[in-house]
Each structure stands twice: as structure tokens, then as C-alpha cells.
Amino acid sequence: MLTGADAQQPVNIDWRVLAGLDYTNGKATDTLKKLEGKQVRIPGFVVPLDDFQEEGAEFLLVPYYGACVHTPPPPPNQIVMVEMTGKKAIKLNLFDAVWMSGTLKIASVESPYGTVGYTLEGLKVEPYSSK
């Protein structure tokens, strides 16, 4: 059981963990089930929901640059729909990798770019670094 400051620290996860969702039947690995509703930190690239959007409180997070912009989009277990807490708009820069922190939920959602396997209540976005 985590207590105090540790309870607030997001768990760093990567796209291999998210690939543990079988989007054809909704079954998830035990590791993924344990992350449901927890604070996580995922590296990725932002994809605005509107082509020319420069800021927004809702966007997609994907594992590699250019995903969704070119067809076909990645599979649903490789796309996260992010909604920033309090609808706080952030700068949406397609070219920069970021760390996205927030509360992860396994949920199938339709986006302009296809089906998404996860939602994240976004708390913080930071420039990507290897830490």
C-alpha cells in the first residue's frame, strides 16, 4: 500500500503495457487491470482532434510521431484519449515528445481518428526526457 508522497507519484508505463489490452474482446492483462484508475505517466506524441488546433484540453496521445495523421491509425490499444482536468488547455505541438501524467481508464471511445482503447484524465504534461 502506498502512503503519503508515494501515493501521489504516477507510475511510469510504456506502450508495451498498454498493448496488454485485447481490444477485440476487452480483456486486459493483470498488470493493466492494476493500473485502472491509477496515476500513470506515459511518454508519447500529442495529436490534436482538429487538424489546425494549436491549443486544447482534449487530444490523443500516441506512441510515435505522425500516428493518426497518416492512415491507418494505430490499433486502439496504442491510442489514449486525454481530457485535461478542469478543461485546462495546453499547447499542442505535434513534433515534441511529452510525458503525459494522469488517471488511466480502460475505455473504448470513438475519436475522429478511430477507436481509442484508453482515456486519461490529464493532470500534467512535460517535455519528454529519458527520466
Q: Is the pLDDT of residue 2 over 80?
A: no
Question: Rounded to the nearest 5°, which phi and psi values hold at 76?
Answer: -55, -30
Q: Which residues pair with 58 in a beta bridge?
A: 83
Q: How would residue 89 be classed by pLDDT, with cut points 50, 70 and 90?
A: very high
- pLDDT confidence of residue 70: 64
**CA separation for the pair 78, 16 (Å, rounded):** 9
State the cell numbers at 130. 529519458
State the cell numbers at 44. 508519447
Q: What is the residue range of 115's domain?
A: 4-127
The CATH number covering residue 101 comes to: 2.40.50.870
Stretch among 12-16, 58-62, 63-67 having the lowest mean pLDDT? 63-67
**CA separation for the pair 117, 22 (Å, rounded):** 9
The total of structural domains in the chain comes to 1
Our CA angle for 67, 40, 47, nearest 5°, is: 20
Q: Is the pLDDT of residue 16 over 70?
A: yes
